[in-house]
Amino acid sequence: MHLKKRILVTGGAGFLGSHLCDRLIAAGHDVICVDNCFTGTKHNVYHLMDDPHFEFMRHDITFPLYLEMDEIYNLACPASPIHYQHDPVQTTKTCVHGSINMLGLAKRTRAKILQASTSEVYGDPEMHPQREDYWGHVNPIGTRSCYDEGKRCAETLFMDYHRQHGVRIKVARIFNTYGPRMHPNDGRVVSNFIVQALRGEEITIYGDGSQTRSFCYVDDMIEAFLRLMGTGPEFTGPVNLGNPHEFTIRELAERIVAMTGSRSKIVHKPLPHDDPRQRKPDIALARERLGWEPRVPFEEGLIRTVAYFEEFLRAL
């Protein structure tokens, strides 16, 4: 028999959070979506607003929250440099105070809690591909540190609440993810290139474009979250979630130009400070413990994402 749960999704009106809310509602759970709408938007969850099993709450998780929950997915935090550098102190607070508040809630209600961590905990990696036992190469005082070190501290808090208080935790290290509902102005390469191509603007590559990234389609990532949350108490993670298939940034730009039939020219700008040269997950642990690997081919995911942005730009 299906067990109905009360599930809290922080950052639930964001890109990943809104897709997670969709899956949880479809599975028959009661979902409370919490978001302060700094980067998330109610537009992403409008289609759920009339569902009796869905509730939207505008709230900033740096302040405590008093609810009764069975599970918590802690996704709240701006995740692109353009947004997390806008208010770096608030970014660190969201990672640290937000985690303390959500872990306190999980401790009180005996809820299972998943932390959306990030591949940024590896910094500019000296190991390639990155495995979970790699401790990273991170600048603690750079312009990206509010996010990188904030997320590293959040992982510390999760592990210590687990060891000290027996809180049931899951830690997901998320690598680049793309798909519909990405923020159009978040400065990430997939959304940036698609919007620039569709508008016929110059496509801006930072550096020579030889730096690599790996891209996982959003549906695959949400499936991984659900599988991770469903594992037994002995498995806490951290576990890498992402697509191990690597592309150069230049390859990505050329694919998007071809796919959109755009006349956009590709231009080069200086590489930002602390921008990692390569990012590729080793997902052996996810394959072994979750039986998971990405299924949606990159071309297919790109087609769906381009279609979303075409519709989005038409509606402006």
Asked if the bond preceding 297 is cis, omega within 30° of 0, the reply is no
Q: In this predicted structure, what is the pLDDT of residue 295?
A: 97
* pLDDT at residue 61, as a whole number: 98
For domain 6-177+217-242+280-295, which CATH number applies: 3.40.720.10, 3.30.70.330, 3.30.428.10, 3.40.50.720?
3.40.50.720
Residue boundaries of the structural domains of the chain: 6-177+217-242+280-295
Which member of 73, 84, 122, 147 is catalytic? 147
CA nearest 80: which of 13, 143, 147? 147
Calpha distance 114→111 (Å, rounded): 10
**46 labelled catalytic:** no
Q: Rounded distance, CA 34 to CA 57, Å?
A: 5
Cα(first)–Cα(last) distance of the chain, in Å?
45
pLDDT of residue 275: 66
**Cis, peptide link before residue 180, omega less than 30° from 0:** no
Please give the chain's pLDDT, 316 residues, in tens.
578 999 999 999 999 999 999 999 999 999 999 999 999 999 999 999 999 999 999 999 999 999 999 999 999 998 888 888 889 999 999 999 999 999 999 999 999 999 999 999 999 888 889 999 999 999 999 999 999 999 999 999 999 999 999 999 999 999 999 999 999 888 888 999 999 999 999 999 988 898 888 899 999 999 999 999 999 999 999 999 999 998 899 999 999 999 999 999 999 998 776 566 777 899 999 999 999 999 999 999 999 999 999 999 998 7
Beta strands in 76-210 (DSSP E): 112-118, 169-174, 177-178, 203-206
